[in-house]
């Protein structure tokens, strides 16, 4: 089954304790992305990756790191989480449709609470 | 970045009614998608529609790229249509995506 998976789905942690949220897709998509969703703000893009070893900042990259060492995986790293990073996080991968077209497919989300 | 405005922010419908959701965007786009976020938080693809018109069952969408807006039509609404509908766009000059703040739809029986 074609899908985007995220782990963990729920995480409660404490300020300053490094964590990684994994994202994996089995559709051979080149483009992958991370978003955070906060009440009243919609989804905001954190980082995206056009291909292996190619990553770019989105609108809200501060406090996050990413890496793209393999095509299928795009982990999100919080080196020193803070309470303002409490949010619902989504990973997406995109089918390239040619001429710049990208159709996104989303994972199930990871609800992170930082105390 | 591209500003994305969705209207209305909230909508309550009786089951069986029709509705139109609007997405305005501030710049040229080469990507536009509509999503439904169900009450369990899942984001479900509805349409990839940077221009033109598409239909899928009771849902249809139209994007007029030259006038920078897209419309999502829901006909004969059902309670399972409840949730939040998001419009997301990607610009011509990069690969970044921008979401609107959504339309929260409640369909009552």
The pLDDT confidence band at residue A80, using thresholds 50, 70 and 90, is very high
Q: Which of B30, B35, B42 is opposite residue A101, by nearest beta carbon? A: B30
The two beta strands, A4-7 and A19-25, are: antiparallel
B96/A56 Cβ within 8 A = yes
pLDDT per residue over A19-67, tens digit each?
Answer: 999 999 999 999 999 999 999 889 999 999 999 999 999 999 999 999 9
- pLDDT confidence of A1, banded at 50, 70, 90? confident
State pLDDT tens for residues A86-105. Answer: 999 999 999 887 777 889 99
Chain A residues bordering chain B (beta-carbon distance below 8 Å): 31, 33, 35, 40-45, 48, 50, 56, 58-59, 88, 90, 97, 99-106, 108-109
Cβ of residue B102 closer than 8 Å to a chain A Cβ: yes
The residues, any chain, with a CB within 8 Å of residue B40's CB and separated by 6 or more, are none
| Contact between chains at A59 and B90 (C-beta distance less than 8 A) | no
Nearest CA in chain B to A110: B41
Helix and strand tally (H, E) in chain B? 0, 11
> Model confidence over B44-92: pLDDT tens digits?
999 999 999 999 999 999 999 999 999 999 999 999 999 999 999 997 7
User: CA torsion sign, A4 to A115 to A45 to B32?
Assistant: positive
């Amino acid at each position: 089954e074609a899908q985007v998976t995220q782990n963990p789905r729920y995480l409660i942690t404490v300020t300053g304790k490094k964590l990684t949220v994994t994202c994996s897709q089995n559709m051979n998509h080149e483009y992958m992305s991370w978003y955070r969703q906060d009440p009243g703000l919609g989804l905001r893009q954190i980082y995206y990756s056009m291909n292996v070893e190619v990553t770019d900042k989105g609108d809200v990259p501060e406090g996050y790191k990413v890496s793209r060492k393999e095509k299928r995986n795009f982990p999100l790293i919080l080196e020193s989480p803070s309470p303002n990073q409490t949010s619902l996080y989504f990973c997406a991968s995109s089918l390239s449709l040619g001429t710049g077209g990208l159709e996104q497919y989303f994972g199930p989300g990871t609800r992170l609470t930082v105390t | 970045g591209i500003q994305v405005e969705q209207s209305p922010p909230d909508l309550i419908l009786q089951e069986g009614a029709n509705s139109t959701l609007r997405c305005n965007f501030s710049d040229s786009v080469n990507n536009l998608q509509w999503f439904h976020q169900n009450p369990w938080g899942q984001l479900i693809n509805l349409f990839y529609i940077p221009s033109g018109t598409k239909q899928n069952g009771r849902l249809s969408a139209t994007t007029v790229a030259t006038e920078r807006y897209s419309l999502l039509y829901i006909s004969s609404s059902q309670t399972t249509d409840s949730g939040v509908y998001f419009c997301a766009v990607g610009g011509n000059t990069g690969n970044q995506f921008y979401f609107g703040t959504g339309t929260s739809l409640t369909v009552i029986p």
